[in-house]
Amino acid sequence: MTPKAVHLPNTATPEEISAALREHGYCIVDDLVPAELMDRIDAEMGPYVDHSLYGDDGFVGKLTKRTGAMIARSPAARELIMNPTAIGTAGKFLEKATTFQLHLTQIISVFPGSKAQPIHRDQVAWDFFPFPRDYEVQCNLLWAMTDYTEDMGATRVVPGSHLLDDREYAIEDSIPAEMTRGSALFYTGKVYHGAGENKSDRLRQAINITYAVGWVRQEENQYLTTPLEIARTLPEDLLKVMGYQMGCFAMGYVGDFEDPMTVLHPPQERRVLNTDIIKRKASEAMDADKLFRDSTAA
């Protein structure tokens, strides 16, 4: 009997979602944003989706389009990126790192007839580096831009695979993450997953918003994708999530050891880095890691 996917209500806290991620490797939060927000994103991004190219291999999907640059192209998408539950969960789940950042923004459009994607882990993007099992580098979301059914090619996940060694999985090892429009699939960079086969006559769309720890390179280059003239109009909290902040101590400064935000402001507003907060957070992370290791060794 195929197990049912793990669902949480939209009242779930970042702590509850993070706990589900650590236990199962994924969870679905139902109806997290209203359909009206998806309508706005669809209106703003639709022309770009229309002009996007299909993938050229079986992994990205020969009948699948991937459309990015969502901060620059869609004001409504900025609300999705800064959704309090999503941001809160990313901060909680990636708390071993000093900071976290936006890793990528992308609409994934799976057209009728698209074959199933190979089951994979997302964290292999960093040159297949073997991150420790107890260190999470990503907090991923797939927001249902359309209803998400198995017949339409809903993303498939292998529950619990984030706790296991690397191996190959078949489609039969996975379950469909079915959800309604406006719901979100949260999943770790370690859990095995992949797009399902779209056997229907309907388009399946999801918005992939991923956050990563602040010290790794982002998959989507946020500084080149969002022109400076647009970046200068954005709120500071969004800019920091985009990466206009220090990733950790001494990583990401500009000029004469200055805050990255300096590049968005006139010369008279140059900001010398205040590393006290960064150092404190790094110290807290090290203390928490030592406590965890001591407790597991006991």
* Residues above pLDDT 90, as percent of the chain: 82
| pLDDT of 58 | 87
Burial of 296 (0-12, 13-18, 19+ CB in 10 A): exposed
Which three-class secondary structure state does DSSP give residue 170?
coil
Report the alpha-carbon distance of residue 144 to residue 205 in Å, rounded. 7
Burial of 168 (0-12, 13-18, 19+ CB in 10 A): exposed
Contact 63, 111 (CB under 8 A): yes
Report the alpha-carbon distance of residue 60 to residue 295 in Å, rounded. 42
Give Cα separations from 208 to 44, 83, 102, 185, 260 (angstroms): 16, 14, 11, 9, 26
Q: 148 phi and psi, to 5 degrees?
A: -130, 95
Q: How confident is the model at residue 249 (pLDDT cuts 50, 70, 90)?
A: confident
| pLDDT of 292 | 46
Token pair listed for 199: 């056997």
SS (H, E, C) 140-155: EEEEECCCECCCCCCC
Which of residues 285 and 67 earns the better pLDDT score?
Answer: 67
Residues in the chain: 298
* Positive/negative CA dihedral, 73, 79, 82, 85: negative
pLDDT at residue 67 tops 90:
yes
| pLDDT of 282 | 58
pTM, two decimals, is 0.90
Report the alpha-carbon distance of residue 54 to residue 238 in Å, rounded. 30
What domains appear along the chain, each with residue ranges and CATH number? Answer: 7-226 (2.60.120.620), 249-296 (no CATH)
pLDDT digits over 188-239, tens only? 999 999 999 999 999 999 999 999 999 999 999 999 999 999 999 999 999 9
Average pLDDT over residues 8-27: 98
pLDDT digits over 162-180, tens only? 999 999 999 999 999 999 9
Q: What is the mean pLDDT of the chain?
A: 92
Q: 280 phi and psi, to 5 degrees?
A: -65, -45
| pLDDT of 32 | 98
- 141 pairs with which residues across the strands? 186, 209
Which of residues 256 and 25 earns the better pLDDT score?
Answer: 25
Give Cα separations from 126 to 53, 86, 152, 191, 221 (angstroms): 25, 23, 30, 15, 14
Average pLDDT over residues 229-254: 93
